[in-house]
Amino acid sequence: MTALTGKLLIAMPSMPDPRFAHSVVLLCAHSAEGAMGLIINKRLPDLSLFKLLEHLDLAPEHDAAGLGATANDMPVHFGGPVETSRGFVVHTPDFFGSEGSAQVTDDLVLSTSVEVLSEMARGQGPGHALIALGYSGWGPQQLESEIQAGGWLTADSGRALLFDTEDNLRWSAALGQIGVDPRLLSGATGHA
């Protein structure tokens, strides 16, 4: 039942929870016990990787390469409403931590230990990364029920969408991957 691990959830316009309005969620785990994912298109205001590293006393080295962007400009995302002070890094598999790293897909790894941030500050981390505070979680069969009720569409994830697409364009880009024009979506759902 790990069929949805590594997939994207795309919130429908009728999503009743404002925290998930126009969200794109990368599902990092899905099993009979439930699901866990990260919202990948909502930045936290006024928080960058540099500020996060500074808060953790992990000042980046001046010539730190391998961040995919400068530490000052790399955003930190709102991963979801659960444990909002807990950090997560989705990144390319060119880095795999000795603890707290799990393979999500062949192209994506999820790391939860400070080790990945420390390596990023030294310029030795993954080539591409998306950082989030908090996560989105569902209990047994909860996500399946929400999908069946029309709250979410699913799509394949990919490095280009995660690392090369601007946050404000990810929702429409994810819909485009599955051939859906967001202008044609209605806020109402129903069943035939």
The whole-angstrom separation of Cα 50 and Cα 61 is 11
Evaluate whether residue 121 is within a structural domain.
yes
Residue 1 has pLDDT above 50, yes or no: no
Evaluate whether residue 41 is within a structural domain.
yes
CATH code of residue 144: 3.40.1740.10
Full residue range of the structural domain in which residue 32 is found: 7-184
Residue 129 has pLDDT above 50, yes or no: yes
Does the CA dihedral 135-140-141-142 come out positive or negative?
negative
For range 23-27, the mean pLDDT:
98
Evaluate whether residue 19 is within a structural domain.
yes
For range 22-41, the mean pLDDT:
97
Residue 20 has pLDDT above 80, yes or no: yes
Which pLDDT does position 187 carry in this prediction?
A: 57
Evaluate whether residue 88 is within a structural domain.
yes
Evaluate whether residue 75 is within a structural domain.
yes
Number of structural domains found in the chain: 1
pTM of the model: 0.89
For range 166-177, the mean pLDDT:
95
User: DSSP per residue over 13-56, as a string?
Assistant: TT-S-GGGTT-EEEEEEEETTEEEEEE-S-EEEEEEHHHHHHHT
Evaluate whether residue 111 is within a structural domain.
yes
Task: Output the CA–CA distances (angstroms, integers) from residue 42 to 53, 77, 122, 155, 165, in the order listed.
Answer: 20, 5, 26, 18, 13
Classify residue 100 as left (phi > 0), alpha (psi -120 to 50) or beta.
left
Which pLDDT does position 65 carry in this prediction?
A: 46
Residue 146 has pLDDT above 90, yes or no: yes
- Of 33-37, 91-95, 186-190, the poorest mean pLDDT is in 186-190
Identify the band that residue 71 occupies on the pLDDT scale cut at 50, 70 and 90: low
Evaluate whether residue 179 is within a structural domain.
yes
CA 117: distance to chain centroid? Answer: 16
Residue 74 has pLDDT above 60, yes or no: yes
How does DSSP classify residue 188? -
The whole-angstrom separation of Cα 6 and Cα 108 is 8
Residue 68 has pLDDT above 80, yes or no: no
For range 96-116, the mean pLDDT:
91
Evaluate whether residue 174 is within a structural domain.
yes
